[in-house]
Structure 1
Amino acid sequence: MLPFPTLNELLATAKVVSLPMRVKFRGITERETLLFRGPVGWGEFCPFPEYGDAEASRWLAAAVEAAWQGFPPQLRENIPVNATVPAVPAARVPEVLERFGRVGAVKVKVAERGQELADDVARVTAVRDALPEAAIRVDANAGWDVTQAVEALGRLSAVGLEYAEQPVQHIEGLAEVRRQLARQGTPVLIAADESVRKEDDPLKVARAGAADLIVVKVAPLGGVRRALDIVAQAGLPAVVSSALDTSVGIRAGLALAAALPELPFACGLGTVRLFASDITGDPLVPDDGAIRLREAVADEGLLERYAAPAERRDWWLDRLRRVHAILDT
């Protein structure tokens, strides 16, 4: 592995952009990210603003891997992906799905703050009505407690769910939801996301028997190679997903999906469709339910067009300096 780049090497090509979203997602309408270019390609550093520097250091490690080291050998060239439906009103579901074209799987956001279970049921039902044969998975982002999760998944399972992603916050809660669903005969698998990427030990969830599968994201786990190691040690099926990245970050997710020995589920890597624009002229978006593996090269014109305001650029560069200091030691 190449030596870790100096701060000046990162700053020399650093670009901060703010990309408009087509719909509100994760509570935001603009996605800010910092990109830089290394010897083998582009890297993306985009931990959400509320994340602390220690957690953000894993995101920087992943970006450096992409730009300075490159990715492991690939086992496949076409990566199946799901469509993603944010917590929009049910009437907007067809509009959102239309952007993804033909897909075989859809992830639907549920448990949005300020909404009711009835909103979730209507949204998921609208997806099923639009795509009768699709695999539907729901993502609660730990928005329920155990009682709410068991009730909600009992109702949502009526339309047929492939799995439920992070229905509750803690590993113990995931295990309890899994037990109660099995006890009442509700056929919904449990996937762990935050309980993998936000834990000091990402293997806890597997040892606790708290999930049927795990969701892995390259940036929060510190890079493609570390994510591959975590999947191997966990011994559970894995779904590769994104962290609302541009095509540069999606390229790293595709590298992980391409390197996994098995890929039993469609990946959550189609989220560039949620942006009004990307930073490359050849965005990594689904075509007929899959993304073809290829490089993502940032376009200087697009980087300039979507350049973040000066104060936000300074905020990100200061953050880069702090996080680099953590990794450099």
Structure 2
Amino acid sequence: MPLSLLDLAQVGPGETVAASLRHSEDLARLADDSGYRRLWYAEHHNMAAIASSAPAVLIAHMAAITTRIRLGAGGVMLPNHSPLTIAEQFGTLAELYPGRIDLGLGRAPGGDRATFAALRRDPAAAESFPRDVVELQRYLRGVPQESGVVATPGAGTDVPLYILGSSLFGAQLAAYLGLPYAFASHFAPAALEQAIALYRTEFRPAPTLDGGETEPYLIVAAGVIADDDEAVALEQAHVTKRQRAKHLFARGRRLTDAEADDLLAGPVGRQVEEMMHHAAVGTPARVRAQIADFASATGADEVMLAPMAPDRRVWLGTATHLAP
């Protein structure tokens, strides 16, 4: 079972963005040396705890300090951009690092309504997501556009596209276009089983440039925390839940740890537990077994691990312990 990594580029309490990105460098080097298949970064905006607002820039830097691993966006939120812009960005990356660049695409804005306005985008842009995916693919393949516009760089690179999602919409689109599908089960697992069934049932093979046809390819994501001391792993899992409660449910207030724990004791706690339903926590052996069970239950072709521990020693150690 191929294993990959999702780096959320988290900025911990008291940590600078620069320090966070240095840790991301450490993870990239470790992943490159350890046999992970790919390493992805997700586009987020206006979130003080996440430093991955510009995935293409992160990918370019991490590709320069690694030699083997595939690097990509997991994903670019396409409604925030024109297809031509993304084709040029990722076409440039593909020309610089041939055979190592992936492009995952999401329909969510990656931020709130105010952020969408700051990006000079209209929320209605999400409605054109399927059409924009097709346009982007045509740019990357060098298929002539009615406008006559050519992506340079980009045309002919055929950067692999992946549809990301946590709902049935993404599964249906990936199936219709014959593209790989990555489900965000590390934070929104509710529709996982339905989405997988829909993707497999409705998948339509699409022609490839070499004359073949695409086949279904499913990636599922799981949050992970692994440590030789199981108590440490469990404590880090609780701190992770506390941080999610503060981030998602504070309603503009700065919560103390005690206040966050009070939230976790009620309905908020149940919501956070649901978000982390497929998280694997414990000793390395226990986490590896949980990942294997998850892969078997979903029939996934690949599992993407998202290290969650706030403690950087445990965070990097998790990727080390679980390396293929």
TM-score, with normalisation over the residues of structure 2? 0.49
TM-score, with normalisation over the residues of structure 1? 0.48
Q: Which has the higher helix share?
A: 2
